[in-house]
Structure 1
Amino acid sequence: MEQHVTPSEDAPPPLMYRVERPVYDEAYLHTQLLHPRERSPKTIRQRLAQQLQ
């Protein structure tokens, strides 16, 4: 005579993982992180002009 054991009787309950993620502003991500070169001067002349202003 075979005994059939269901997984819930033999194994412990599955672990539930909860990951807390910070919520970011999409506009901030777009302007600050995704396109850093667009907001910073590209050439030395542009950097000097920005510093001298």
Structure 2
Amino acid sequence: ERDSQDFVRYLDDESFRRRLRVAADMLKPFKEMGKLKGVCTEMTRKSGHRQRR
């Protein structure tokens, strides 16, 4: 219970939000890569199902 309150206070911290925004900007290119990776994972999962049978 107390932990969640600390977490909310942490999120309310302006400097933390600014850091989060900077991190999000840095991670934007990786998001596109993540989408590609997700597609690859989906394809390998399907082929895996085929091999298992």
Q: Which has the higher contact order (CA 8 A, sep 6+)?
A: 1
| TM-score w.r.t. length of structure 2 | 0.31
Indicate the structure (1 or 2) with the bigger Cα radius of gyration: 1
Q: TM-score scaled by structure 1?
A: 0.31
